[in-house]
Structure 1
Amino acid sequence: MKERDSIIFDLDGTLWNASETVSKAFNESIKDIGFDIEITSQTVRDFSGMKMDDIFAQYFSFIPKEKLQEFEKIYAKKESDYLKEFGGELFPKVKETLEQLNKNYRLFIVSNCMKGYIENFIEFFSFKDLFEDFECYGNAGLPKDKNIRLIVERNNLQNPVYVGDTIWDKESSEKAGVDFIFANYGFGTVENPKIEIQNFEELLSIKF
């Protein structure tokens, strides 16, 4: 078996929790198009990992189709502005662990987020030197498994592993032909994962 050379990370529920900031952006955007409906940070955590189109369809069905494009445009701007200002909360020991992992592995991010979301995360914490590349749903509308494959192919990764916190992460990893590690401290649940971590720092001690 080839030696493990790289780690690809999910973002929300794996590296950080930005649900408070994201819910604020959603709620302000909802008000801007004339609705008095609020979503909670828990709701944001519940749909974390889903594609944005599916989130809008399932959780924002109260918005008329003719206003959806306007809502998406307003939200994209507010999300970016709020993330730049407020960011999110890293899970314990993420920064220190990433710095240690980066000595032995190439690091990447693949998320189902909007365009610019990963960039805001990296900029907020000055992580530019830690991650070689990243990909997201918002760039080309591709599902997570295809974006994982894009990262693998364009960076010539030989034996990567994907770390995520939802069943969608597990399924996407399997479709992409990449091993999966379940971050069980995150937002989702996965039944009987082959490998799981109780906290982020555990990545330093587990056998890949």
Structure 2
Amino acid sequence: MTDIDLLIFDLDGTLVDSLDDIVSSVNHTLPQLGLDILSRDEIQSYVGDGIKMLLIRAVGTQADVSDDLVERARKIYYEHHEQHCLDHVHMYPNALEVMEHFRSKKKAVVSNKSERFTKKILEGLGLASYLDLIIGGDSLSSKKPDPLVIEHTVSLLKVEKRKTVMIGDGHQDIQCGKSAGVITCGVTYGFKPVEDTKDADFSINDLMELKNIFR
């Protein structure tokens, strides 16, 4: 067992499955720009680096990407997602059980999703009350994989890096954790291919497995 004082979770693809609502908002946005909708699998492959990059990738499949077009897409997406980000989102199995198990430990969510949607989802699903800190992709001057977001979290919560674990489904999470000098744990059930987290210190197929690795 590995002793820890802080668990940092990614959101999408780690704590919650939000893909259906992301797909819905992207495919609401594209036709309003005169573009065709995309498949669920294609949109899934674009998730992980924040909403702006998601839209650049989605729009870029059919049009020349310009700042103006991306800004138009962002406004449409935000307006729709504000109303629909809780339509289908749900926690992965054992998310609440793990929060309860580690109640005595500090816990944070560090996501590349915008802070407003990150908080809205966590509050809507009843997870926010378990967390000491919530950071979105626009909360700081940079986002994952920049280690700044973890360094900021560790500093604010006054814990040691060697007793901190970053848990996520994407290479951004693992790279961020390693660059920051914390323990890393990949999840195999998320949005990203398993290879994305092959360099993690630990790997889990279910959040409940965290109870057998960390104390």
TM-score under structure 2 length normalisation: 0.86
Deviation sequence 1:115-148 (CA, Å, 0-9, x none):
3121111121122320111112123451222212
Q: Is 1:99 the counterpart of 2:103 in the alignment?
A: no
SS at match of 1:196: strand
Identity %: 19
Cα offset, 1:192, TM superposition: 4.8
- Matches of residues 1-208 of structure 1 in structure 2 within 5 Å? 3-35=3-35, 37-61=36-60, 62=63, 64-65=65-66, 66-84=68-86, 86-102=87-103, 104-144=104-144, 145-158=147-160, 159-188=163-192, 189=194, 190-207=197-214
Deviation sequence 1:38-66 (CA, Å, 0-9, x none):
12332333223223333333332126523
Q: Which runs of 5+ in 2 are unaligned?
A: none
Cα offset, 1:26, TM superposition: 1.0
Paired residue type of 2:42: T
SS at match of 1:154: helix
Cα offset, 1:3, TM superposition: 4.5
Cα offset, 1:174, TM superposition: 1.0
Q: Which runs of 5+ in 1 are unaligned?
A: none
Paired residue type of 1:46: S
Aligned length: 204
Deviation sequence 1:63-110 (CA, Å, 0-9, x none):
6523221111111121121014x14121111112211112x3111000
Paired residue type of 2:30: I
Contact 1:93–1:201 (CA under 8 A) maintained in structure 2: yes
Contact 2:3–2:214 (CA under 8 A) maintained in structure 1: no
Contact 1:22–1:41 (CA under 8 A) maintained in structure 2: no
TM-score under structure 1 length normalisation: 0.89
Classify 1:192/1:114 alpha carbon distance in 2 versus 1 (closer, same or farther; 3 Å): closer
Paired residue type of 2:54: I
For 1:180 and 1:149, locate their aligned partners in 2 and report how far apart those are by CA, in whole Å. 14
SS at match of 2:131: coil
Cα offset, 1:187, TM superposition: 2.1
